[in-house]
Structure 1
Amino acid sequence: MSANGGTRAIIAALLANVGIAITKFIAFLLTGSSSMLAESIHSVADSGNQGLLLLGGRRAKRAATPEHPFGYGRERYIYAFIVAIVLFSLGGLFALYEAYHKWHDPEGINDHQWVPVTVLVIAIILESFSFRTAIKESNQIRGKQSWVRFIRRAKAPELPVVLLEDFGALLGLVFALFGVGMTLATGNGEWDALGTAMIGILLVTIAVVLAIETKSLLLGEGAEASDVAAIERAVTDGPEVERIIHMKTLYLGPEELMVAAKVGVPSCESAEELARGINAVEARIRAAVPIARVIYLEPDIYSVAAAQAGTGAAAPTAVPQADDEAAERPGS
């Protein structure tokens, strides 16, 4: 995923949410609507989440150190996971608590009745622009994938997070408009509480989805099947390697893939010839899958017997011992 594309979507969402949060708080103070309060906290949580995503992207760019030799690319996953926790606790649970409180003490909206509807309509327009930016940036890399598959398989967490947050924000605004509208129409504050509860359930659901997907990235995901196939073709598409004995891939970060493989090579006359062959294979891998930046290839002599035994190791080769060589010399 383009890091710049993700950053543009995050900044667009951040600017929209800050403005929306301020107007929602003003509307809550004027009307006392619990839906407006829940939506205010929702926008504050979203603004904080976008700040976390920007911070995670910045920290992930740090150079590798002896303590972290593979760099800090996966820090973007950690901050995305924190986003899920914030959305669950600060957004979802608060909304559910506020709904419970409002349901047991329902109050209608008696003052400034036009304010919440006006604010919610403006917020829907602003969120739509933010959502449109996230969709536009995602479409550049989504290809023919469905939206569900894109969110589940994306290795860079920023765009899926922003997409889900913006979608949840738009749907939450519709729920708030429903609760406020029905409260204004009936004078019954229980509708306001119902809208608030719908917002809370929505946010908790989105947070759980984000947590599940981000957890998978934190545990470590391998390359997509198409990339694995491209790497396999690059390895064997030359005389240097006869076959792949076994291979594993792992994302070290959204834009950095590690490839480790044991490969069967033909007999070589010198270590120099073997090294040139391995370097040629690595060059083909990087050409086929540019994000494969860390490559470890272990050359071996393939053994059918070892493969059948499940080890994939090479058959031991006899190495002449010094005493044996001396015994074979004439006159020894």
Structure 2
Amino acid sequence: MSANGGTKAIVAALLANIGIAVTKFIAFLLSGSSSMLAEAVHSVADSGNQGLLLLGGKRAKRAATPEHPFGYGRERYIYAFIVSIVLFSIGGLFALYEAYHKWSHAEGITEWQWLPVAVLVAAIAMESFSFRTAIKESNHIRGKQSWVRFIRRAKAPELPVVLLEDFGALVGLVFALFGVGMTLITGNGRWDAAGTAMIGVLLVVIAIVLAIETKSLLLGEGAEQQDLDAIERAITEGPEVERIIHMKTLYLGPEELMVAAKIGVPACESAHELARGINAVEARIRTAVPIARVIYLEPDIYSAAAAAAGTGAAADTAVPQPEDASGEAVGRPRG
């Protein structure tokens, strides 16, 4: 659902931004407003960003290869990180440069004075439609989380990126309307420059927030606490496992979780019995957390004394490792 909802929100934002960018450039060429130029470049950057998100989503669906055995799911995070760089450089820094230039050479808006205001009002309407779509699609997966927590903890990057972009676009349009309106009222072009500077600062802040959150996903995040609890219950609720010795989880992509655990199992007499137990545990994990698609379970015999001594979890007395029909030791990671 998150992938489909994210794509719908991206397409809505892309269509809105293309239309907005064209009208803003026309308004800038006719009026000379720097706020309009900053907003036009902002819309172009946003359109490019939505294109990058769509490209990242498509490339992430490629099948796993020997060189990339866990697939390409995390490529969506890479493209989301590129989006933050584009928003920072093309959107934010360009707006700040244009504000500095306009402040140094302040000029009022003397031609087509009504056009920037009309364009900005129309852009607010179109951007509001895009923002509404992003909110609606996000609510399908946000649950009871606050918006701040949803943006910080969402594993699928597309919806948080579109939400922040649309929010920034709407606030930026208000800033531009303020700058243009005050310039028309006072005839002082520095109001236009001030509105442009406010747009630049806003975009830089949003870009930094996006970069920080996406960087965390790129580095690798583990499962949320509720999923960890569900996985732990699934592992220990049957007779096959006495305890979890240690466990690690990692998102391989927004909809794919890897679970690796060393588990304490009771002594068994055959490899077939051990294998059946591990298969049962894996099935329970996948039922409890369906996105847990890659599971590695390593069976061991737990010894509290050995664990306290730091020599490992296995009992001091050697237990022969069961072997399967091929002669390989049972208990190797299982996918």
SS at match of 2:145: coil
Are 2:120 and 1:120 equivalent residues in the alignment?
yes
CA distance in structure 2 between the aligned counterparts of 1:310 and 1:176, rounded to whole angstroms: 63
In the TM superposition, 1:47-126 aligns within 5 A as: 47-126=47-126
In the TM superposition, 1:282-321 aligns within 5 A as: 282-310=282-310, 312-318=312-318
Deviation at 1:317, TM superposition (A): 3.3
Report if aligned partners of 1:53, 1:76 keep a CA contact under 8 Å in 2.
yes
Deviation at 1:94, TM superposition (A): 0.1
In the TM superposition, 1:117-156 aligns within 5 A as: 117-156=117-156
Report if aligned partners of 1:14, 1:46 keep a CA contact under 8 Å in 2.
yes
SS at match of 1:278: helix
Question: Paired residue for 1:225?
Answer: 225
Question: Paired residue for 1:25?
Answer: 25
CA distance in structure 2 between the aligned counterparts of 1:253 and 1:312, rounded to whole angstroms: 32
TM-score relative to the length of structure 1: 0.95
In the TM superposition, 1:3-14 aligns within 5 A as: 3-14=3-14
Q: 1:307 to 1:218 in 2, by over 3 A?
A: same
SS at match of 1:244: strand
Report if aligned partners of 1:245, 1:312 keep a CA contact under 8 Å in 2.
no
Q: 1:223 to 1:319 in 2, by over 3 A?
A: closer
CA distance in structure 1 between the aligned counterparts of 2:148 and 2:197, rounded to whole angstroms: 25
Deviation at 1:309, TM superposition (A): 2.6
SS at match of 1:17: helix
Q: 1:319 to 1:206 in 2, by over 3 A?
A: closer
CA distance in structure 1 between the aligned counterparts of 2:257 and 2:287, rounded to whole angstroms: 13
Compare CA radii of gyration and give the structure with the larger one.
Answer: 1
Are 2:277 and 1:277 equivalent residues in the alignment?
yes
For residue 187 of structure 1, what is the amino acid of its counterpart? G
In the TM superposition, 1:195-234 aligns within 5 A as: 195-234=195-234
For residue 262 of structure 1, what is the amino acid of its counterpart? K
CA distance in structure 1 between the aligned counterparts of 2:43 and 2:74, rounded to whole angstroms: 27
TM-score relative to the length of structure 2: 0.94
How many residue pairs are counted as aligned between the two chains? Answer: 320
CA distance in structure 2 between the aligned counterparts of 1:30 and 1:103, rounded to whole angstroms: 20
SS at match of 2:249: strand
For residue 94 of structure 2, what is the amino acid of its counterpart? F
Question: Residue by residue, what CA displacement relative to the aligned partner does 1:226-274 show, whole Å, maximum 9, x if unpaired?
Answer: 0000000000010000000000000000000000000000011100000
Q: 1:311 to 1:180 in 2, by over 3 A?
A: farther
CA RMSD between the two structures = 0.9
CA distance in structure 1 between the aligned counterparts of 2:59 and 2:191, rounded to whole angstroms: 44
Deviation at 1:316, TM superposition (A): 3.9
For residue 279 of structure 2, what is the amino acid of its counterpart? N
SS at match of 1:110: coil
Question: Paired residue for 2:325?
Answer: none
- Runs ≥4 residues deviating over 2 A: 309-313, 316-320
CA distance in structure 1 between the aligned counterparts of 2:301 and 2:248, rounded to whole angstroms: 19
For residue 224 of structure 1, what is the amino acid of its counterpart? E
SS at match of 2:258: strand
Deviation at 1:306, TM superposition (A): 2.0
Report if aligned partners of 1:246, 1:312 keep a CA contact under 8 Å in 2.
no
Give structure 2 stretches of 5+ with no counterpart: 321-335
Report if aligned partners of 2:304, 2:313 keep a CA contact under 8 Å in 1.
no
CA distance in structure 1 between the aligned counterparts of 2:318 and 2:213, rounded to whole angstroms: 50
Question: Residue by residue, what CA displacement relative to the aligned partner does 1:71-115 show, whole Å, maximum 9, x if unpaired?
Answer: 000000000000000000000000000000000000000000010
CA distance in structure 2 between the aligned counterparts of 1:218 and 1:119, rounded to whole angstroms: 38
Are 2:183 and 1:183 equivalent residues in the alignment?
yes
CA distance in structure 1 between the aligned counterparts of 2:318 and 2:175, rounded to whole angstroms: 75
Q: 1:167 to 1:311 in 2, by over 3 A?
A: farther
Give structure 1 stretches of 5+ with no counterpart: 321-332
Question: Paired residue for 1:266?
Answer: 266
